[in-house]
Structures are given as structure tokens and as C-alpha cells.
Amino acid sequence: MTARAVLATAPGPGGRTVLATMSSAPPITLRRTGPGQVYLVSTAAGPLGGDDLALDIDVAPGTVLDVRSVASTLVLPGPGPGSAPEESSMTVTARVGAGASLRFAPEPTVLAAGCLHRMTVRLELAPDARVFWREEIVFGRYGEASGRCRSRFDAVAGGLPLLRQEFTVGDPAIDASPAVYGDARCVGSTLIAGPPGAAAGHPQTPRTGGGRTSDSLSAGGRRTREAILGDGWAALPLAGPGILVSALALDAAELRRRLERGETEALSL
């Protein structure tokens, strides 16, 4: 199956955000749930092996968009037992215009045993755009091994690279390494990006604290915050206008809690 859904905003009367384009393509179905808010609803099984799915998002200058999902995404193998698995893919491309804000926080992606999946995110931000982008991956359903997945994230802000990240899940030689996932069953990350002082434009989560800050002195003697480290999570400032929160956990609930702790700390910087 090949499917491409499209979502675009436009400025409306009184500074409100209007959903100018909302084109669903099952299994990716878009549902408007409020001003500038859309939920992703899966109206068919998938991704399945061989599926090529895509979601294009265009956030117009000065508008605000909040994208979430009703439930987790379960990635399943396609062909039956004994045949080589076909790769499925999900590509999300988002452009965020000047002064615009995008929150993208769907429920986790679950890699069922036997699947072969590729996740790609391409994010293009205007210099003063803001983004909150959360991604969570669960290594298999309860009691089963993880499928295989390669995840790639490319973000550009103001024409300059902001984040280039790629990792693989489901390779036993990599997953079990204490330098990679150890005994974790879930991995997640949140990119919080925007101009200095833009934290007020991002959604807040309840502050739980628990982070340890690593500080250093710049060449001019100014104290700069390099990282915030917590139990199973870390918030790392990027070279550009952004912070990356990363976390590992044994289950999806704990992964979400750890990410939220890191997000809260990052938004307080």
C-alpha cells in the first residue's frame, strides 16, 4: 500500500489558525479536534511489510498546529512465515514558517516481532519558528522480541543543520550492548527548538525536577549550561537553537514519564 496524507495551516480571522488542507489517506486519517489541533487516526492495520506511508505538514507563518494520535502505531510484518520480510516505511515531512509553532507528539510506535521498518523525519524550520517534536519507540509487544527498525531524523533551522540523528532497533548485537540500549525496551526523544526565549511558546508539562546539571565556563567567563542528566534521561543543548531530550526505559509508561521530566527541565532553560 502507498498512501500520502497532507496537512496545512493558514492564518485566519483574529489571528486564529485555519486548517487550509486536511487530506487523509488510509491508514493515515486526520481528524480535527480543535482550533489548530489534529489527531491521527489509524483506519486500517499497518504499517505492514511493503507499505510506503507519508505525512506532509506545512505550518504557515504565524500559525500554530498541534498534532497527536488516538493510539499507538503497531508495525507488523507483511508476508507469512518463511518468506523474507518486506520493509515498510513511514516518512513525515514538516515545514514550519516564520513565527509559526508546531507540536508533534503522537503515541508510541510499537515494533512487532518480525517487522522490518524505516522511519524518516524531515523537518525544516524558519529562523524564528518553534517546534516540540516527540518520538517514542517500543521494542515489541509484551513478551515478544522486537522487530527491526531504522529511524532517521533530519532537522534544518534557518537553512542550517540543527539535528542529524539515526539509530537502529532490533539488531541483537546492538540492542543488548550496555553502550546502546542495555536492558531497555523503549527509546524516545524530544526535540525542542526555537529562538532564545521561545520556551513560552511550547507546551508545558508538570515540573518534576530530578535533573543534574553539567555546567562549564565559556571563553568569556560566562557560565553555560551543557547538559541536564536525570534517571534514564538526558537533555542536551544543540549547536543551533534547540535542545534534544533522550530517554530509555523498561516500559512505555516510564519512558513517557522520563521524557516529560527532561522536557520540563529543558523548557526551564
The mean pLDDT of 2-18, rounded to a whole number, is: 94
Q: How large is the average pLDDT for residues 87-106? A: 97
CA 185 – CA 180 distance, rounded (Å) = 12
Backbone angles phi, psi at 74, to 5 degrees: -105, 115
In the chain, % of residues over pLDDT 90: 70
pLDDT band at 46 (very low <50, low <70, confident <90, very high): confident
For position 101, what pLDDT does the model report?
A: 97
> What is the band of 176 on the pLDDT scale with cuts at 50, 70, 90?
low
- Mean pLDDT score across all residues of the chain: 87
How far is Cα 213 from Cα 234, in angstroms, rounded to an integer? 10
Amino acid, single-letter form, for residue 43: T
C-alpha 241, offset from chain centre: 17
Q: Report which of residues 213 and 76 the model is more confident about.
A: 76
The pTM of the full predicted model, rounded to 2 decimals, is 0.87
Bin 268: left if φ > 0, else alpha if -120 < ψ < 50, else beta. alpha
Confidence of residue 225 (pLDDT cuts 50, 70, 90): low
- Write the CB contacts of 78 (distance below 8 Å, at least 6 apart in sequence): 48, 49, 50, 51, 85, 86, 88
